[in-house]
Amino acid sequence: MNRQDLGQVLTPTSLVSEVQEFRAAVANPQRSADEIRRAYGLIVNHAGNLNPHAPGFEWAGVALKEAACLWLDCKAFRGH
């Protein structure tokens, strides 16, 4: 699958949903730091493959910023 195909499969709405799941994972103390790190990496990877002309792209950007803040807060809180 090439980058253009990924942009058609990954929608801004799906990224927003992924960040909502990430928020729940960060709040779950049973999730390991490695699981959270991998989930954040996937979000960043998926965000890079979004079509900037797709409807809702701006909301995906807001969700990406939220994921970055969650990631930084999680690292500080868990001491990693």
Tell me the pLDDT tens digit for each residue of 44-63. 999 999 999 999 999 999 99
The arithmetic mean of pLDDT across residues 30-39, rounded, is: 92
Q: What is the pLDDT of residues 7-26, one digit of tens each?
A: 456 899 999 999 999 999 99
Query: Chain-wide mean pLDDT for the chain?
Result: 87
The whole domain housing 47 covers 3-78
Report residue 74 CA to chain centroid gap: 14
User: Strand, helix or coil at 45?
Assistant: helix
How many Cβ atoms sit within 10 Å of the Cβ of residue 29? 6
| Number of domains, the chain | 1
